[in-house]
Chains A and B, each alone.
Chain A
Amino acid sequence: MEAIFIVILHATVVIFDMIPLIKSGKKKEVILYASIIMISLVLGFLYALGIDIPSPVPYFEKLVMLIK
């Protein structure tokens, strides 16, 4: 259910925000926009499906503990 919600959420943003950008003909902007939205969609979708995405936090904690 949450996975469908994530897809609908991203699709809504693409329809109302990205399509006008594509129509304006700004290629570089469209590439950056599409890249960010793809990363966000993949991460959100995998998380919603219950797939364990490795978090950078434990590695970061180890690094700080070394400095400490």
Chain B
Amino acid sequence: MKKEVITQKQGIFLIIIYSIGTSIVIVTGVSAKIDLWVSIIIATIIIIPMGLIYAKLNSILPEKDLCDILEFSWGKVLGKIMISLYLLYIINTSFFVLRDIAEFFRLTVGSETPMIVPAMTLMFVSAFAVKNGIEVLARFVSFIFIPVVLFIILDNTLLLPNVDIENFKPFMYYGWKPVIKGVFNTIAFPIGEIVAFTAIFHTLKDKKVAKGTYIKGILATGIILLISSLISVLVIGPEVADIYYFPAYIATTRISIGNYLQSVEVILAFLFTIGCFVKFSILFLCASNLLTKLLAFDDYRFIVLPTGLLILSVARILFKSTSEFYYFTATIWPYYAIPFQIVFPIITLVLAETKLRKKKNQN
């Protein structure tokens, strides 16, 4: 089988599109009300050292992926349990991406369309990308990165005339509690989800650049999230942003330049679809890879379509309504996600370092 390789630039682009993809229409850390900018900054600062830990995990055993690292650090039995837990976490995250795109199309574009239609379309396109491997996906992301960033800049620039600076006040009116909640929410979704790249970045051409790839990706994601979330909230106000499921989309509907530039939200829907595709493909790739490695198969490609169909079936039965889904992601999800994003990687790195030192001393 041909060895897949991605460059540092492609790695950074993948991280950025993956992280901002689904959060482009969902304002991040909105539970902190107008202080969400503080939450996003703190969450980014917390995740930067985690990026260094993820990079170290990728470089500690060169050419080895997340499964090998987990088995090496935790031992054979515990390693398998950890792989199963990570598989569950990644599959759960992919449920949310499918559900997000299905809910988005139901609530904004075609309310009569059954949920399965957009979710199934995304799943099949992603399955095609995953079967072709990470290299093809990375090349696609390099190709669409500049248009996506230009569209984000255009969208935010056009929103500037609608910004109401009064919405910026009062600072810290609700105290630190909502800000801390916002930090947890921002880490759990989307910045901390970068942990999935530990299962991919063994394909980086030069392992020494893993650190820079993570840090640059996290910083760029933090800046884009900060600017787009803040502008959206300043346009519609923090209270209104808290009510809607897709506040950034609602903010964009307010853009109206004369009578000739309207319905710019279509651009946002396009960006969201591209982002969902990239994010779901990466999660899908990780899930297929982890599942086949867990069951000791060599190649993941044969399992891609059945896994996709299973994700599609389960994503529909998990939540009975849209409000239940958004309540879960805002309130319960951080408690489940943060151990996988922060606690387990730290323990894995400590265990791996200890084992490597022991081996060195024995030699």
Contacts and interface: CB of A to CB of B under 8 A. Distances in A.
Interface of A: 2, 5-6, 9-10, 13, 17, 21, 26, 28-29, 32-33, 36-37, 39-41, 43-44, 47, 53, 55-57, 60-61, 64, 67-68
Contacts of A47: 313, 316-317
A26 B292 CA distance: 14
Interface residues of B, number: 25
B209 interface: no
Contact of B295 (A32, A39, A61): A32
A56 B332 CA distance: 13
B93 to A, nearest CB: 14
B305 A13 contact: yes
10 contacts: A28-B297, A32-B295, A32-B297, A32-B303, A36-B306, A44-B316, A47-B317, A55-B319, A60-B336, A64-B336
A40 B303 contact: no
Secondary structure of the B side of the interface?
Answer: helix
Contact of B335 (A26, A36, A68): A68
B41 interface: no
A64 B314 CA distance: 21
Secondary structure of the A side of the interface?
Answer: helix
A41 B114 CA distance: 18
B116 interface: yes
Nearest to B295: A32
A66 B306 CA distance: 35
Contacts of A43: 310, 313-314, 317
A1 B360 CA distance: 64
Given A6-B116, A21-B302, 13 more contacts: A2-B116, A29-B297, A36-B310, A37-B306, A40-B309, A43-B313, A43-B314, A47-B313, A55-B317, A55-B319, A57-B319, A57-B328, A68-B335
A37 B311 CA distance: 11
B234 interface: no
B307 interface: yes
B318 interface: yes
Interface string B260-274: 000000000000000
B358 interface: no
Nearest to A26: B302
Contacts of A2: 114, 116
A64 to B, nearest CB: 5
A64 B335 contact: yes
Contacts of A33: 302-303, 306
Nearest to A37: B306
A5 B320 CA distance: 21
B53 interface: no
